[in-house]
Structure 1
């Protein structure tokens, strides 16, 4: 038969058919509701957390590999490699174990989880030191230095990460592995960075990186304890028992005090960093308004904080060098640095030479044209 002569079957929706489809959708919705409303298996969750908190071979091998990958990511200044290293890290286990031990009031289990955490941290820092010594000629990169300025924002991130990890651990439908990657991102890189900085004898930066790791550990433990407590993990019972907030505070009093002290210190660090950024932005804006004229352009502005002042080094390129009187007047306008010390400008001027053919006419270069020529 020809195509236009093919038979066609037309099916009309009947009211019974619509009712059948609606019934199927309702059944699927009820199934999804039952899946979401599954109760927490307290016994199984406890077994999983306890298993992850043990000092197993898998724990050390995976964290060692993560430290090596993260270390070379830090040394090569590659954020993507650092994040990718966390796919094999397993640092959430012992911290979750400590959180459960506090909630269930199990001192022996706490010692096991704490021992695992200390051994893991020591191993990761040691790997960082070895990598730093092997690659001692490589410079300290921005990825390493970014882990040496902990602020209150890092504390907030760790609190949220710990809560997410604990919630994933108790939820029947969520995978704790994915959340563990995010938590490990906050732990392994600063520990490796501290080891690399120790190898370079940068003790202050190394201590700040360790402080960041400690902040993350304490914050993750507190938020994990809170989620587990809210989920009914109390006194080692499989069933939820009456436990007041006061009891929760008593069991986590040491961690809460440490967290409070860290919060105050990191808030102070954040305010200092904010004041420094505002000061540098204000100074750079004033310097640009003074020197970016007459075809002159600023290359770099560097802040050299010294004991009695902040020396501001300015590299300027152009046609006309600024006069000492201009710099003196600029120094009078500049605000004091965050320490209350004077700000002093020093200019390094690089003259721009215009070369053209003899027969070419002389003409002035406009400011916009000069910017286009000087920009790389």
Structure 2
């Protein structure tokens, strides 16, 4: 039906001086709505139900963690950090740890037993997958990605504490997704467990134990920090029993975890100090070696440290034109610092002759002569 301008009503909106005031008023209303959305109170009942559901030994939990272990295992074996990081997309290890944290501060021992059973079964499954992958690929040498998880320090403990706090805060916040933080925290658990299993299959007992200590450190630290965040957020009572809200009560309910955390803190701090001293020692040795041997067109290629009972052997590979003589190596030995056990450091030099090849139409003054005279500058 055609519109008849003379008969149909028409609304005409004109800009008025009050229009800007109306826009400002609407913007203020939107801002207040955002504030109300941001200040929503924690739904303690719903959070408890979510944590309890994630702590159950469900099929999803085992399937997803098994897939994460396989992905992480092949990432470790192929020395691919990107693949190891990709395991975070499917891992689900934060749920039972959060369940343990909630059960301790909420006085819910049935939930504690359920979450602990789920966590234990998950650890055993992931570790078994690591052993199987290690046996299936027994000919593949131990990679850097695996060895990087065999030296836990106090830094790893700090990272786990922060990660656990982030996961717990996301679980109680109405506006944050726990999935994003949860998968990130899970990567601190799955790779070291799989690495420990692979090292166990290779009968690398010491390194396997260190990788497992890293996983245990992450689990305990995440549980303690999660308990602390939940306690501060008001999760202080169980279904029937009122729990005191003081610090002493929190310590009592997390006493075992805090004792383990204290022991791990001391051990990891000592481990960190040892690693720091080792790095300072190796840096001083490398500086001394390069100072004495980087001359006469020679250059130090590699430096390796080989520990023995009575000394530390410094294997040095030098490339160049003029091999260092025994007197120079002896002078180098005199200048090298003792190792961490107070034993002498002994240098052993392997020299590789560098042959200079020139084209037939090269300048009359050979490049080699100009290098020896110091005329050519290397950038």
Q: TM-score, normalised by structure 1?
A: 0.92
Contact 2:106 2:243 in 1 (8 A): no
Tell me the distance in 1 between the aligned counterparts of 2:58 and 2:360: 79
1:225 maps to 227
Are 1:61 and 2:67 an aligned pair?
A: no
Partner-residue secondary structure (3-state), 2:142: coil
Tell me the distance in 2 between the aligned counterparts of 1:354 and 1:302: 27
1:296 maps to 298
CA deviations on 1:348-372 (whole Å, 9 max, x unpaired) are 0111223346775353242696967
Which range moved further: 358-367 or 25-34? 358-367
Which range moved further: 334-343 or 153-162? 334-343
2:351 maps to 349
Contact 1:297 1:371 in 2 (8 A): no
Tell me the distance in 2 between the aligned counterparts of 1:353 and 1:48: 70
1:15 maps to 17
Contact 1:55 1:116 in 2 (8 A): yes
Tell me the distance in 1 between the aligned counterparts of 2:239 and 2:359: 91
Measured after TM superposition, the shift of residue 14 of structure 1 is: 3.9
Partner-residue secondary structure (3-state), 2:302: strand
CA deviations on 1:3-40 (whole Å, 9 max, x unpaired) are xxxxxxxx996431111011111111111111011111
Tell me the distance in 1 between the aligned counterparts of 2:33 and 2:229: 27
Contact 2:101 2:227 in 1 (8 A): yes
Tell me the distance in 1 between the aligned counterparts of 2:242 and 2:175: 21
2:121 maps to 119
1:4 maps to none
Partner-residue secondary structure (3-state), 1:232: coil
Tell me the distance in 1 between the aligned counterparts of 2:311 and 2:266: 28
- Aligned counterpart for 2:339 among listed residues 337, 340, 350: 337
CA deviations on 1:67-114 (whole Å, 9 max, x unpaired) are 001101111111111111111010000000000011011222111100
Contact 1:43 1:238 in 2 (8 A): no
Partner-residue secondary structure (3-state), 2:346: strand
Measured after TM superposition, the shift of residue 238 of structure 1 is: 9.9
Contact 2:97 2:115 in 1 (8 A): yes
Which range moved further: 145-154 or 231-240? 231-240
**Structure 1: runs of 5+ lacking an equivalent:** 1-10
Tell me the distance in 2 between the aligned counterparts of 1:260 and 1:109: 25
Tell me the distance in 2 between the aligned counterparts of 1:77 and 1:189: 12
1:3 maps to none
Tell me the distance in 1 between the aligned counterparts of 2:377 and 2:197: 47
2:104 maps to 102
1:51 maps to 53
Tell me the distance in 1 between the aligned counterparts of 2:361 and 2:198: 60
Partner-residue secondary structure (3-state), 1:15: coil
- Aligned counterpart for 2:280 among listed residues 278, 281, 284: 278
1:6 maps to none
Tell me the distance in 1 between the aligned counterparts of 2:271 and 2:15: 69
1:186 maps to 188
Measured after TM superposition, the shift of residue 137 of structure 1 is: 1.0
Q: TM-score, normalised by structure 2?
A: 0.92
Contact 2:320 2:354 in 1 (8 A): yes
Change (3 A) 1:287 1:335: same
- Which aligned pairs between 1:140-289 and structure 2 lie closer than 5 A? 140-236=142-238, 242-289=244-291
Tell me the distance in 1 between the aligned counterparts of 2:139 and 2:52: 42
CA deviations on 1:188-225 (whole Å, 9 max, x unpaired) are 00000011111111111000000000000000000000
Contact 1:233 1:240 in 2 (8 A): no
Tell me the distance in 2 between the aligned counterparts of 1:328 and 1:371: 29
Tell me the distance in 2 between the aligned counterparts of 1:324 and 1:212: 45
Contact 2:107 2:241 in 1 (8 A): no
Tell me the distance in 1 between the aligned counterparts of 2:370 and 2:49: 75
Tell me the distance in 2 between the aligned counterparts of 1:134 and 1:369: 54
**Structure 2: runs of 5+ lacking an equivalent:** 1-12
Change (3 A) 1:369 1:202: farther
Tell me the distance in 1 between the aligned counterparts of 2:235 and 2:361: 89
